[in-house]
Chain A
Amino acid sequence: MGYDQLNSIIRLENISHAYGGNKSVLSDISLEIPEKSFYSILGPSGCGKSTLLKISASMLKPQAGHVYVKDRIVHSPDPERIIVFQDDNQLFPWMTVRENISFPLRLLGRSIIDKRSEILEKQVYLDGYTDYYPSQLSGGMRKRTIIARALSSEPEILLLDEPFSSLDIQTRITLHKLIYSIWEKTGITVVFVTHDIDEALTLSSDIAVMNSSGSFTSIFRNSFAGSFGEMSIDFFTRRKELMNMIESPEKI
């Protein structure tokens, strides 16, 4: 396990939210995300987990409740909480891999830019593609560039919104291993939103299960983190349990 602290880095307190006066997406949600954890929020589509992630990044202002980062209340986004979405169009097509990765460094006025970008490119195995434009890369490579760019400014927290769901299974597994090893090595806190039970089980140190009505049914430490390909009987038993938890019979 990559962490042993019990301090929470993000604390959500009594969050409620609804879009445009409709039925509420989130009602009175509270959650503590431990520092240095790989924290997955697992739930069916439409349950409000992405909304919760946007609120955690302060990209969306909740109608009620507060977000705390290290016990300080936060209202606006900052470079310590970088959020990454699913779609590919987050990269800037007019910038090369290197320019995309180093863009945050330049924006934040960092002094060591090229060296840092070079290290990141190696870390995500893109060191041969420095001068490529996003349109020349495969989907997996684009995802790796997005991850490298998100890591470039060394944020404390990385918030990922189903980042790998559009990829084929082989590419996904490669990226799972990559993000897991980055998490292990850097001690960054990862908040990972997914609807994929296997993905949550193989990656996360902690899992919070959300049901379709947007409330947490179970929050637990996960013992299968980093178990790529070793799917034991226990794994399948756990998987079945989670499946039951997120399923909503009335919707099927």
Chain B
Amino acid sequence: MKFFWFLIFLAVWEIIRISGNFSPLIFPSVKDVVASLVSSSIDGEIFFQLLFSLFIIFISLAAGTVAAFILVLGSHVSGILDSLLKSLVSFFHPLPGIAILPAVILWTGTGIESIFIIVIHSVLWPMVTNLHTGYSSIPENYSFFRKNYRMNHFQMFTGITLPYSLPYILAGLKISFARSWRALISAEMIFGAAGGKGGIGWYIFSKRVYMDTAGIYAGLLVIIVIGIVIEELFFTCIEQKTVRKWGMIS
């Protein structure tokens, strides 16, 4: 169905272009966009940029998730930590990643570190919020079970807490991915290439500099495709094999 509407969209695009009311610099032909995509693919440029962006996201998602787990576990051990964490979340959760960029550039310069900081910032707070909700909703029955069999903290964490939190982890990852992907592309556009690796955001930005409109749209197309692949195929696939199969979400 999505594919059908996509074809309709392409047709409308072509009609507008052929009507000749707009400059080809604004409405390049579908053929040019595809050609730009193909040539960027052949010389590997677009894949290279994409891999770089995804690599940053992946590392940050992993780091953010682990950090969120540590913070949430800590907040269940100490009341002071809990109150601190709740306050931190309410301070930083509403802050868009891109908004803290100028401050981050002041601290760390325009290197890859600042991109990591922005992306981890986008991952951490939604992840903490979700994990906190998951952790707090562990049924009382499980804690009776834990006491009955005298489970230690490690057994409890790996055997019950982690699988029980999986729906919350997945929901957190989805939100985190969406937020960090947007933050990353924005940051890349502002930073430009660090050592030739600017990511997909930089790819689009540099195409604008050279007025390569077809290249801009090619970059956008790639972002859309990545979004669909990750948000719909990747997460849906994991959900089907775990929480959906177990009846934990419907």
* Other-chain residue from A85, A92, A103, A153 in contact with B144 (beta carbon distance below 8 A): A85
Q: Are B163 and A90 in contact (CB under 8 A)?
A: no
**A89 contacts the other chain (CB 8 A):** yes
| Interchain nearest-CB distance for B1 vs A (Å) | 29
**CB distance A133 to B246 under 8 Å?**
yes
- Which of B14-22, B145-153, B205-213, B216-224 makes up part of the contact surface? B145-153
Query: Residue-by-residue, is B126-156 near A (CB-CB < 8 Å gives 1, otherwise 0)?
Result: 0000000000000101101101111100010
- Tell yes or no: A83 within 8 A of B by CB: yes
Once the chains are docked, how many angstroms separate the CA of A136 from the CA of B247? 8
Nearest A residue to B156 by beta-carbon distance?
A107
Residue of B nearest to A103 (CB): B159
A224 to B156, CA, bound (A): 43
Main secondary structure of the interface of B (DSSP, over half): helix
Residues A76 and B149 in contact in the complex (CB < 8 Å), given A85-B141, A94-B166, A103-B159: no
B245 contacts the other chain (CB 8 A)? yes
The verdict on A247 contacting chain B, using a C-beta distance below 8 Å, is no
8 Å CB interface, A82-128 against B: 82-83, 85, 87, 89-90, 92-94, 103-104, 107-108
| Contact partners of B163 in chain A: CB under 8 A | 92, 94
Bound form: Cα–Cα A72–B148 in Å: 18
**Known interface pairs A94-B248, A133-B246; A83-B159 also in contact (CB < 8 Å):** no
Chain A interfacial residues counted at CB < 8 A: 25
Among the listed B150, B166, B242, which residue makes an inter-chain contact with A79, where contact means beta carbons less than 8 Å apart? B150
A107 B248 Cβ-Cβ under 8 A? no
A32 at interface, CB cutoff 8 A: no
For A90, list chain B residues within 8 Å (CB).
139, 141-142, 145
Q: Is A48 an interface residue (CB 8 A)?
A: no
In the assembled complex, which residues on chain B have CB atoms less than 8 Å from the CB atom of A214? none
How many residues in B have their beta carbons less than 8 Å from beta carbons of A?
Answer: 21
Contact partners of B149 in chain A: CB under 8 A: 79, 104, 107-108, 153
Residue of A79, A92, A136 near B148 (CB, 8 A) is A79
Residues of B within 8 A of A83 (CB): 144, 148
The reply to whether B248 and A78 form a contact with Cβ atoms under 8 Å apart is no
- In the complex, B160 has a CB within 8 A of chain A: yes
Interface centre among B139, B141, B155, B163 (most CB of A within 10 A): B141
Q: Contacts A93-B246, A133-B246, A133-B247; is A59 near B147 (CB within 8 Å)?
A: yes
Q: Please encode chain A, from 4 to 22, with 1 for each CB lying within 8 Å of some chain B CB and 0 for all others.
A: 0000000000000000000
A146 to chain B, nearest CB (A): 10
In the complex, what residues of B have CB within 8 A of residue A78's CB? 148, 150
CA distance A77 to B144 in the complex (A): 9
Candidates B144, B159, B247; contact of A93 at CB < 8 Å: B247
Set of chain B residues within 8 Å of A244, measured between Cβ atoms: none
B170 to chain A, nearest CB (A): 13
- A134 in the interface, Cβ–Cβ < 8 Å? yes
Residue numbers in A under 8 Å from B159 (CB-CB): 103, 107
Determine the distance from Cα of A135 to Cα of B249 in the docked complex, in whole angstroms: 11
Task: Check A135 against B147 for contact (C-beta < 8 Å).
Answer: no
Those of A33-78 within 8 Å (CB) of chain B: 57, 59, 76-78
B141 touches A94 (CB 8 A): no
Note all chain A residues with C-beta closer than 8 A to B246: 93-94, 133-135
CB-defined contacts of A79 to chain B, threshold 8 Å: 148-150
Residue of B nearest to A89 (CB): B139
Q: Check A77–B242 contact: CB distance below 8 A.
A: no
A27 CB to closest chain B CB, in angstroms?
A: 25
Q: Which residue of A lies closest to B143 (CB)?
A: A59
In the complex, the answer to whether A92 meets B247 with C-beta atoms within 8 Å is no
Residues of A within 8 A of B242 (CB): 94
Could you tell me if B141 and A89 are in contact, using CB atoms closer than 8 angstroms? yes
Complex CA gap A90/B141 in Å reads 6
- 22 example contacts (A-B, Cβ-Cβ < 8 A) are as follows A59-B147, A59-B148, A76-B147, A78-B148, A79-B148, A83-B144, A89-B139, A89-B141, A90-B139, A92-B142, A92-B163, A93-B246, A94-B246, A103-B159, A107-B149, A107-B155, A107-B159, A133-B246, A134-B247, A135-B246, A135-B247, A135-B248
Q: Known pairs A92-B163, A133-B247, A134-B247. 11 more at Cβ < 8 A?
A: A59-B147, A77-B144, A78-B148, A85-B141, A87-B141, A89-B141, A90-B139, A93-B247, A133-B246, A135-B247, A153-B149
